[in-house]
C-alpha cells in the first residue's frame, strides 16, 4: 500500500509544461489579508471544477507519543460544525454531485472536491465553515478512533508491503518525524486525547497556513471574490512553529527483517537523498524514471526480464518532499529466489549506474516520459490543481516552468555522480520480509 | 487484487454519465465494412489521444478447465509481433512517453494506447500490430506463465483478492463468471502456446471489436488511420462465438477462510440483471442508497455510528451476461458477527420499508449531478464509449440515464431491493482469523 503512495508521489513529481495555448493561461495568485494563499486557473473545456485546500501540516509536525494525529484530524474534519452537523459535509457534496476526499502525507493534509462548476459556491462555503468552526465532538472522536484503527489494520498490520515500508522508514530516521508512520503507531492511536487533537487543530488549521487552489470552468475573479467573502473573515493565527529537526547523517548500514504470513518475500532498500532544494534533485528524478519508468526501464529489464529473478522491481524519488527523504528501491522475488539474491541484484544495478553512463536512449526516453506525463496531466482539472499546489509549496507555482528545462538539462554524467554520491553503504537501509513457514 | 480492481472498474463504468441539458452527440459512430465499430470523440484542447480497442475475448470464453486463457492471451499480445519483439514494442512506445497495455476482463480484452498527438501514427501502428499480428513466442509464453503463477500466489496474501475470488465461485458455480480472470495456480500451469493461438484465432476478429479514439484527432483522421491498419482484416465466415451457460441462480452458500490477520474481510454477492434491463436504473439507485456514498445506510450504520469499519459499501458491477451485486466490509475479527448483522438488517430494510424521500433525492442528485465528472478526461470518455457500445446502450445513454434515474420511485427501489438485496439470496465469504478467541488490540 505504501508503494502505491510512493508511486503516486512519483507520478505527482512530473513537470507541467504548458502547451502554447496553456502558456497564455494566467494563474491568478494572491494572498488574502489573513494570510490565506489562493491560486486560481480557468479551464473551460468541461463544465467542472476541482477545488482543493491544502494545509501545511503533515506527519512531520507530530511528536513522539502522538503520531497519527494529523491523519486522525483529517478524518475528523468531516464530522461537523455547528452549522453543518455530523456527516452533513459529505452528504451536501454528494447531493450536489461532487466527489470529495482527502489525504494526509508527511508534509501536508489535502482536501479536494471535484464537482460540476455550477455547484462551486456551496463548496467554498463548506470549506470555509469547517476550517473555522470544526466541532471535534468527543463521541465523534471515539467512533472515528475505531475507524482509523481499522484503517491501520487494513493498510499496515494486515498488509506485508505496508508493514515492511513502515519498519524500514522507522529504521532510516533516527531523529526526524519522517520515521513515524503517517497513520500513526497503534499505541498512539489508542491514547491520543481530544485536548491534543484540539491543540493540534488550533496550531495548524489556520488561514495563514493554508492554500486554496481551484482549476475549472469559472471566472477566476468571480471565484476569488467568493473565496474572499467566505474565508476573509477568518482571523489570522500565530504562525505555526517551524520544524527544527535535522536527521543526523547516517553512519552505517541498517537492517530489519520481518516475519509475516505472506506468499513471497519482499526487499526494500532506502537511501537518504536531498530534496528539491538541491541541485541534484533533477538528476535523482531522472534516475528514478531510468530505473523504474515502464517495461523498458533498467530494473524491469534486468531483474524481471533478463535475469527472471523478480516478479516486480522499481525505484522511486520524492521530488516534492519538504525535508530530505529517501530514495526507495524494491523487489519481489519470483518463487525460488531468495531476498539475498534480490538485494544483491539491486546493489549490482546501483554499482552499474556508478560505473557506467546510462545510454543515450535511456536518458532520452526518461526525459520524454517525464515530459509526456506532464502533458497528459493537463487533461484533468484535478491533476492541474494538484500540480500547481505542489510547486507552490516548493516555493512558488512558477517553479513548474523551470522543471522540465531542468530535467532536459540533466546529463548522463550527473546521473552517475548522483548514484555514486547517494547509493553508498553508509546510507543504506534494508528491510526484508520473510514469509512465515 | 486484479479481480476486485476489475470489478471496481466495471462498477464505475456502470454509472454512466448523464449530461446537463440537451447535448450534441458525444461521439461519431460508424461500422466499418468488416464489422469493426469505430467511435471518435474530438477533444482538441490537449495534444493527446486516448485509443481503446475492445475485443470480445474475455475470461467468459475460457474453455472449462482452462481459466486464465483469455488473460494469458491478452498479456502476450504485447510480447512480440511479426514486426517487433516484446522489448522493441516496449522501447518504441516508452521512448515517446506513451503507454500500450492489453488487459483481459470478464467479458472482453481492452488494448489501450495513449500517446501525444504527434505520435499518433506510431501508437496506431503498434496497436494494429499487437491486435492483428502477435506471435506469442515460446519463451514469452513460458515466462508469462511463471509470472502469473507468482502473481496469483502473491495475491493470495491479499484478503480482498481471496475474498472476491472465493465469492465469485459461490455466486457462479456453473457459469464462466465463477472462475478468476487470471486463472488458478493449477489451471495456468496447463496453458500453452497452442491453446493461446487457438483462443486468439477464435476470438480476435474485426466483427468482435470496438475501437474508440478520443482527443486531438478528427473523425476523418481517425477513420482513415483505422481503415489503413484494420480495413483489410477479414471477417471470418463462422459466427461470433457465443457463451452458453445457464443463468445463475442465487444461493446463500457461505465460506470462511482462515488467515492470520487482525481484520476480517467479508464479501457478499449475488447475480443481478443486465445493464439494458429497464429495472437497472432502480437497482443503481437502490445500491447507492444502501452502500454508495457517505450518507448511505451501510456507511452510516457500520462506519459512522458503530465505528466498525474503515471500508464498507455496496456496488453493482455490470456484465454482458448479467451484473453482480456486491457488498463488502472489513472489520476487526471479533466484530464480524455484529457488523454482518447490521449489514443484513440494512439490506432487509431496503425491501420492507420504502426509502425516505430525502435518501432517494440524494441518490438521484448524486448519480445525475456527478455525471460530468465521468467525462472530463479523454481516457474516461474512451472507456465510456466502449461501455455503452458493448452494452448496446446507445450513444445518447447520458440523456437516457439522467431521464430514467430521475423517474425511479421509492416503490421501484423497494421492489428491486426485494430481489437484488434480499439477504437470503447472497453468498458470502469471510477471510480472517475466525478460529482464535477475539484478539485484544
Positive or negative torsion for Cα A154, A155, A161, A165: negative
Task: Give the whole-number percent of chain A exceeding pLDDT 90.
Answer: 89
Say yes or no for a CB contact (<8 Å) between A96 and B46.
Answer: no
Residue A242 lies in a domain: no
Per-residue pLDDT, A9: 43
Residue B249 lies in a domain: no
Weakest mean pLDDT among A8-22, A377-391, B270-284: A8-22
List pLDDT tens digits, range A149-169. 999 999 999 999 999 999 999
* Residues A414 and A316 occupy one common structural domain: yes
Rounded mean pLDDT of A369-389? 96
CA atoms within a 13 Å half-sphere pointing along the CA-CB vector of A297: 22
Rounded mean pLDDT of B259-273? 94
Domain holding B308: CATH number? Answer: 3.30.830.10
Residue A243 lies in a domain: no
Residue B437 lies in a domain: no
Nearest Cα to Cα of residue B168 among B361, B10, B358, B4: B4
**Residue of B94, B99, B332 with shortest CB distance to A153:** B332
Give the whole-angstrom CA distance, residue B180 versus residue B149. 13
Per-residue pLDDT, B440: 41
Q: Which of A231, A266, A286 is the last residue of a domain?
A: A231
* Residues A330 and A402 occupy one common structural domain: yes
Say yes or no for a CB contact (<8 Å) between B153 and A264.
Answer: yes
Per-residue pLDDT, B23: 66
Residue for grid cell 493461446: B196
Cα-based distances in Å from A52 to A59, A435, B76, B170, B250: 19, 41, 41, 43, 44
- Predicted confidence (pLDDT) at residue B10 exceeds the cutoff of 50: no
Cβ contacts of B157 on chain A, cutoff 8 Å? 160, 261-264
Residue A149 lies in a domain: yes
Per-residue pLDDT, A30: 97
Domain holding A38: CATH number? Answer: 3.30.830.10
* Residues B96 and B212 occupy one common structural domain: yes
Rounded mean pLDDT of A209-217? 98
Residue B5 lies in a domain: no
* Residues A226 and A262 occupy one common structural domain: no
Say yes or no for a CB contact (<8 Å) between A373 and B306.
Answer: no
Contacts of A330 (CB under 8 A, 6+ apart): A3, A266, A267, A268, A269, A312, A313, A314, A315
* Residues A103 and A219 occupy one common structural domain: yes
* Residues B358 and B317 occupy one common structural domain: yes
Cβ contacts of A261 on chain B, cutoff 8 Å? 157, 259-261
Give the whole-angstrom CA distance, residue A82 versus residue A94. 20
**Between A25 and A338, the higher pLDDT residue:** A338
- Predicted confidence (pLDDT) at residue A145 exceeds the cutoff of 80: yes
Q: Spell B396-406 as b/e; 16+ CB within 10 A means b.
A: ebbbbbbebbe
Residue A215 lies in a domain: yes
Residues B402/B18, Cβ–Cβ less than 8 Å: yes
* Residues A321 and A383 occupy one common structural domain: yes
Q: How many of the other CB atoms lie within 10 Å of CB of A59? A: 24
For residue B363 the three cell numbers come to 441518490
Residue B276 lies in a domain: yes
Per-residue pLDDT, B297: 96
Residue A2 lies in a domain: no
* Residues B222 and B304 occupy one common structural domain: no
Q: How many of the other CB atoms lie within 10 Å of CB of A43? A: 23
- For all residues of chain A together, what is the average pLDDT? 93
Residue A125 lies in a domain: yes
Give the whole-angstrom CA distance, residue B23 versus residue B405. 17
Cβ contacts of B91 on chain A, cutoff 8 Å? 296, 361, 365
Nearest Cα to Cα of residue A76 among A194, A172, A180: A194
Residues A329/A322, Cβ–Cβ less than 8 Å: no
- DSSP conformation class of A177: G
Q: Which of B198, B230, B262 is the last residue of a domain?
A: B230
Q: Which domain holds residue A82?
A: 9-231
* Residues B215 and B268 occupy one common structural domain: no
Residue for grid cell 502525507: A105
Cα-based distances in Å from B271 to B266, B287, B319, B374: 17, 14, 10, 26
Cα-based distances in Å from A435 to A169, A329, A334, B259: 20, 20, 13, 13
The angle at the Cα of B122, spanning B116 to B126, to the nearest 5 degrees, equals 115
Per-residue pLDDT, B122: 98
- Predicted confidence (pLDDT) at residue A23 exceeds the cutoff of 60: no
Residues A290/A364, Cβ–Cβ less than 8 Å: no
Specify the 3-state DSSP secondary structure of A390.
helix
For residue A387 the three cell numbers come to 500540480
Q: Which domain holds residue B201?
A: 23-230
Nearest Cα to Cα of residue A9 among A290, A274, A316, A293: A316
* Residues B286 and B378 occupy one common structural domain: yes
- Residues present in chain B in total: 441
Rounded mean pLDDT of A254-273? 95
In sequence order, what E strands does A105-172 have? 109-116
* Residues B283 and B135 occupy one common structural domain: no
What is the count of structural domains for chain A?
2
Cβ contacts of B433 on chain A, cutoff 8 Å? none
List pLDDT tens digits, range A355-374. 999 999 999 999 999 999 99
- Predicted confidence (pLDDT) at residue B247 exceeds the cutoff of 90: no
Q: At what angle do helices B280-291 and B397-407 cross, to 10 degrees?
A: 70
Specify the 3-state DSSP secondary structure of A96.
coil
Nearest Cα to Cα of residue B188 among B135, B142, B155: B142
Task: Give the whole-number percent of chain A exceeding pLDDT 70.
Answer: 94
Nearest Cα to Cα of residue A351 among A431, A254, A425: A425
Q: At what angle do helices B410-420 and B336-352 cross, to 10 degrees?
A: 130
List pLDDT tens digits, range A177-205. 999 999 999 999 999 999 999 999 999 99
pTM equals 0.91
Residues B36/B235, Cβ–Cβ less than 8 Å: no
Residue B76 backbone dihedrals phi, psi, to 5 degrees: -85, -15
Give the whole-angstrom CA distance, residue B388 versus residue B398. 9
Rounded mean pLDDT of A424-436? 94
- CB contact B150 to A (< 8 Å): yes
* Residues B59 and B156 occupy one common structural domain: yes
Residue for grid cell 557506467: A356
3-class SS letters over chain B? CHHHHHHHHHHHHHCCCCCCCCCCCCCEEEECCCCCEEEEEECCCCCEEEEEEEECCCHHHCCCCCCCHHHHHHHHHCCEECCCEHHHHHHHHHHCCCEEEEEECCCCEEEEEEEEHHHHHHHHHHHHHHHHCECCCHHHHHHHHHHHHHHHHHHCCCHHHHHHHHHHHHHCCCCHHHCCCCCCHHHHHCCCHHHHHHHHHHHCCHHHEEEEEEECCCHHHHHHHHHHHHCCCCCCCCCCCCCCCCCCCCCCCEEEEECCCCEEEEEEEEEECCCCCCCHHHHHHHHHHHHCCCCCHHHHHHHHHCCCCCCEEEEEECCCCCEEEEEEEEEEHHHHHHHHHHHHHHHHHHHHCCCCHHHHHHHHHHHHHCHHHHHCCHHHHHHHHHHHHHCCCCCCHHHHHHHHHHHCCHHHHHHHHHHHCCHHHCEEEEEECCCCCCCCC
List pLDDT tens digits, range B34-74. 999 999 999 999 999 999 999 999 999 999 889 999 999 99
List pLDDT tens digits, range B140-155. 999 999 999 999 999 9
* Residues B282 and B394 occupy one common structural domain: yes
List pLDDT tens digits, range A71-80. 999 999 999 9
Task: Choose, out of B87, B137, B150, the residue to mutate when testing the contact with A (most A CBs < 10 Å).
Answer: B150
Strand partners, B103: B110
Residue B317 lies in a domain: yes
Per-residue pLDDT, A321: 97
Q: How many of the other CB atoms lie within 10 Å of CB of B226? A: 22
- CB contact B263 to A (< 8 Å): yes
- Predicted confidence (pLDDT) at residue B7 exceeds the cutoff of 70: no
Nearest Cα to Cα of residue A22 among A41, A47, A39: A41
- For all residues of chain B together, what is the average pLDDT? 92
* Residues B210 and B345 occupy one common structural domain: no
Strand partners, A212: A38, A53
Per-residue pLDDT, B53: 98
* Residues A301 and A156 occupy one common structural domain: no
Among chain B residues, the shortest Cα distance to A141 is held by B307
Give the whole-angstrom CA distance, residue B285 versus residue B281. 6
Where in the sequence numbering do the catalytic residues of A fall? 74
Rounded mean pLDDT of A28-47? 96
Nearest Cα to Cα of residue B212 among B13, B404, B62: B13
* Residues A357 and A297 occupy one common structural domain: yes
Nearest Cα to Cα of residue A329 among A180, A430, A178, A259: A430
Say yes or no for a CB contact (<8 Å) between B98 and A372.
Answer: yes
Say yes or no for a CB contact (<8 Å) between A116 and B46.
Answer: no
- Predicted confidence (pLDDT) at residue B310 exceeds the cutoff of 90: no
Rounded mean pLDDT of A311-337? 96
- CB contact B378 to A (< 8 Å): yes
Q: Which of A185, A216, A231 is the last residue of a domain?
A: A231
* Residues A222 and A285 occupy one common structural domain: no
Task: Choose, out of A263, A307, A330, the residue to mutate when testing the contact with B (most B CBs < 10 Å).
Answer: A263
- Predicted confidence (pLDDT) at residue B441 exceeds the cutoff of 80: no
* Residues A199 and A282 occupy one common structural domain: no
* Residues A204 and A267 occupy one common structural domain: no
Pairing of strands A210-216, A48-55: antiparallel
Nearest Cα to Cα of residue B261 among B146, B181, B158: B158
Give the whole-angstrom CA distance, residue A205 versus residue A421. 39
Say yes or no for a CB contact (<8 Å) between A150 and B332.
Answer: yes
User: Which pLDDT band, with edges at 50, 70 and 90, does A393 fall under?
Assistant: very high
* Residues A223 and A275 occupy one common structural domain: no
* Residues A52 and A181 occupy one common structural domain: yes
Per-residue pLDDT, A22: 47
Cβ contacts of B364 on chain A, cutoff 8 Å? none
- Predicted confidence (pLDDT) at residue B106 exceeds the cutoff of 60: yes
Say yes or no for a CB contact (<8 Å) between A154 and B45.
Answer: no
DSSP character string of A238-300: PPPPPP---PPPP-S-EEEEEEES-SS-EEEEEEEE--TTSTTHHHHHHHHHHHHSSTTSHHI
Cα-based distances in Å from A67 to A107, A109, A186: 13, 14, 9
What is the count of structural domains for chain B?
2
Give the whole-angstrom CA distance, residue B324 versus residue B232. 38
Region at A35 (left for phi over 0; alpha for psi -120 to 50; beta for the rest): left
Residues B109/B58, Cβ–Cβ less than 8 Å: yes
For residue A65 the three cell numbers come to 507519543
* Residues B202 and B329 occupy one common structural domain: no
For residue B80 the three cell numbers come to 512480440
Per-residue pLDDT, A87: 80
Give the whole-angstrom CA distance, residue A382 versus residue A392. 15
Residue B239 lies in a domain: no
Residue A164 lies in a domain: yes
Rounded mean pLDDT of A377-383? 94
Say yes or no for a CB contact (<8 Å) between A334 and B310.
Answer: no
The angle at the Cα of A124, spanning A374 to A51, to the nearest 5 degrees, equals 10
Residue B245 lies in a domain: no
Give the whole-angstrom CA distance, residue A143 versus residue B278. 40
The angle at the Cα of A331, spanning B68 to A360, to the nearest 5 degrees, equals 100
User: Which pLDDT band, with edges at 50, 70 and 90, does B16 fall under?
Assistant: very low
Rounded mean pLDDT of B206-211? 98
Residue for grid cell 477471510: B431
Positive or negative torsion for Cα A303, A305, A307, A311: positive
Amino acid at each position: 500500500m505504501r508503494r502505491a503512495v510512493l508511486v503516486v508521489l512519483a507520478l505527482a513529481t512530473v513537470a507541467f509544461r504548458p502547451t502554447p495555448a496553456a502558456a497564455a493561461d494566467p494563474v491568478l495568485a494572491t494572498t488574502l489579508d489573513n494570510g490565506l494563499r489562493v491560486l486560481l486557473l480557468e479551464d473551460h473545456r468541461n463544465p467542472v471544477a476541482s477545488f482543493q485546500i491544502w494545509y501545511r501540516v503533515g506527519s512531520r509536525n507530530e511528536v513522539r507519543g502522538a503520531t497519527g494525529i494529523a491523519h486522525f484530524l483529517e478524518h475528523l474534519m468531516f464530522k461537523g460544525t455547528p452549522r453543518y452537523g455530523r456527516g452533513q459535509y459529505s452528504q451536501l457534496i454528494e447531493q450536489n454531485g461532487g466527489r470529495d476526499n482527502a489525504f494526509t502525507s508527511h508534509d501536508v493534509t489535502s482536501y479536494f472536491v471535484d464537482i460540476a462548476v455550477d455547484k462551486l459556491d456551496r463548496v467554498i462555503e463548506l470549506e470555509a465553515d469547517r476550517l473555522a468552526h470544526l466541532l471535534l465532538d468527543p463521541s465523534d472522536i471515539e467512533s472515528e478512533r475505531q475507524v482509523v484503527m481499522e484503517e491501520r489494520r487494513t493498510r499496515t498490520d494486515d498488509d506485508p508491503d505496508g508493514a515492511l515500508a513502515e519498519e524500514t522508514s522507522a529504521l532510516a530516521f533516527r531523529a526526524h518525524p519522517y520515521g513515524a508512520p503517517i497513520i500513526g503507531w497503534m499505541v498512539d492511536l489508542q491514547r491520543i486525547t481530544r485536548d491534543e487533537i484540539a491543540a493540534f487543530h488550533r496550531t495548524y488549521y489556520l488561514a495563514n497556513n493554508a492554500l486554496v487552489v481551484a482549476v475549472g470552468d469559472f471566472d477566476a475573479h468571480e471565484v476569488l471574490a467568493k473565496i474572499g467573502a467566505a474565508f476573509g473573515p477568518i482571523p489570522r493565527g500565530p504562525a505555526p512553529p517551524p520544524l527544527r529537526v535535522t536527521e543526523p547523517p547516517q553512519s552505517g548500514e541498517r537492517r530489519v527483517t520481518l516475519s509475516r504470513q505472506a506468499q513471497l518475500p519482499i526487499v526494500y532498500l532506502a537511501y537518504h537523498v536531498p530534496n528539491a532544494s538541491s541541485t541534484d534533485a533533477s538528476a535523482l528524478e531522472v534516475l528514478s524514471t531510468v530505473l523504474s519508468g515502464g517495461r523498458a526501464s533498467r530494473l524491469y529489464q534486468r531483474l524481471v526480464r533478463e535475469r527472471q529473478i523478480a516478479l516486480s522491481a522499481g525505484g522511486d524519488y520524492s521530488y516534492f518532499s519538504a525535508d530530505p527523504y529517501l530514495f526507495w528501491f524494491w523487489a519481489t522475488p519470483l518463487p525460488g529466489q531468495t531476498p539475498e539474491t534480490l538485494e544483491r541484484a539491486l546493489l549490482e544495478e546501483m554499482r552499474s549506474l556508478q560505473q557506467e553512463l546510462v545510454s543515450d536512449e535511456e536518458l532520452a526516453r526518461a526525459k520524454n516520459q517525464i515530459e509526456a506525463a506532464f502533458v497528459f496531466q493537463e487533461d484533468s482539472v484535478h491533476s492541474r490543481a494538484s500540480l500547481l499546489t505542489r510547486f507552490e509549496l516548493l516555493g512558488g507555482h512558477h517553479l513548474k516552468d523551470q522543471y522540465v528545462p531542468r530535467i532536459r538539462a540533466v546529463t548522463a554524467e550527473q546521473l552517475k555522480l548522483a548514484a555514486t554520491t547517494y547509493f553508498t553503504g553508509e546510507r543504506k537501509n534494508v528491510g526484508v520480509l520473510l514469509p512465515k513457514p | 487484487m486484479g479481480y476486485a480492481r476489475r470489478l471496481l472498474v466495471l462498477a464505475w463504468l456502470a454509472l454512466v454519465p448523464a449530461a446537463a441539458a440537451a447535448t450534441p452527440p458525444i461521439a461519431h459512430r460508424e461500422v466499418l465494412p468488416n464489422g469493426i465499430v469505430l467511435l471518435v470523440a474530438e477533444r482538441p484542447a490537449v495534444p493527446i489521444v486516448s485509443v481503446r480497442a475492445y475485443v470480445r475475448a474475455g475470461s467468459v470464453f475460457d474453455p472449462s478447465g482452462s481459466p486464465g486463457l483469455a488473460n494469458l492471451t491478452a498479456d502476450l499480445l504485447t510480447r512480440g509481433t511479426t514486426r517487433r519483439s516484446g522489448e522493441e514494442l516496449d522501447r518504441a512506445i516508452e521512448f515517446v512517453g506513451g503507454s500500450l497495455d492489453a488487459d483481459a476482463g470478464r467479458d472482453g480484452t481492452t488494448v489501450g494506447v495513449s500517446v501525444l498527438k504527434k505520435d499518433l501514427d506510431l501508437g496506431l501502428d503498434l496497436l494494429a500490430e499487437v491486435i492483428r499480428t502477435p506471435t506469442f513466442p515460446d519463451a514469452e509464453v513460458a515466462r508469462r506463465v511463471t509470472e502469473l503463477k507468482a502473481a496469483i500466489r502473491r495475491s493470495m496474501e491479499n484478503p480482498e483478492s481471496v475474498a472476491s475470488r472465493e465469492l465469485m465461485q459461490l455466486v457462479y458455480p456453473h457459469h464462466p463468471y465463477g472462475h478468476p480472470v487470471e486463472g488458478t495456480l493449477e489451471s495456468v500451469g496447463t496453458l500453452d502456446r497452442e491453446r493461446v493461438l487457438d483462443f486468439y484465432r477464435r476470438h480476435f476478429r474485426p466483427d468482435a471489436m470496438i475501437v474508440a479514439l478520443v482527443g486531438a484527432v478528427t473523425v476523418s483522421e481517425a477513420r482513415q488511420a483505422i481503415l489503413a491498419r484494420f480495413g483489410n482484416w477479414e471477417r471470418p465466415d463462422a459466427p461470433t462465438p457465443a457463451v452458453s451457460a445457464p443463468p445463475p441462480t442465487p444461493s446463500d452458500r457461505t465460506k470462511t477462510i482462515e488467515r492470520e490477520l487482525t481484520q476480517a474481510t467479508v464479501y457478499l454477492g449475488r447475480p443481478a440483471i443486465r445493464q439494458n434491463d429497464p429495472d437497472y436504473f432502480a437497482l443503481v439507485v437502490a445500491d447507492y442508497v444502501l452502500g454508495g456514498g457517505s450518507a448511505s445506510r451501510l456507511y452510516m450504520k457500520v462506519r459512522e455510528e458503530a465505528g466498525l469499519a474503515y471500508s464498507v459499501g455496496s456496488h453493482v458491477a455490470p456484465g454482458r451476461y448479467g451484473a453482480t451485486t456486491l457488498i463488502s466490509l472489513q472489520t476487526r475479527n471479533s466484530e464480524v458477527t455484529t457488523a454482518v448483522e447490521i449489514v443484513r438488517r440494512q439490506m432487509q430494510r431496503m425491501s420492507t420499508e420504502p426509502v425516505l424521500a430525502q435518501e432517494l433525492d440524494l441518490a438521484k442528485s448524486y448519480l445525475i449531478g456527478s455525471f460530468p465528472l465521468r467525462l472530463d478526461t479523454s481516457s474516461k470518455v474512451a472507456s465510456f464509449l466502449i461501455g455503452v457500445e458493448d452494452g448496446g446502450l446507445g450513444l445518447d445513454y447520458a440523456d437516457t440515464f439522467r431521464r430514467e434515474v430521475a423517474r425511479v420511485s421509492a416503490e421501484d427501489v423497494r421492489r428491486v431491493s426485494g430481489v437484488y438485496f434480499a439477504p437470503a439470496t447472497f453468498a458470502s465469504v469471510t477471510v480472517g482469523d475466525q478460529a482464535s478467541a477475539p484478539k485484544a488490540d
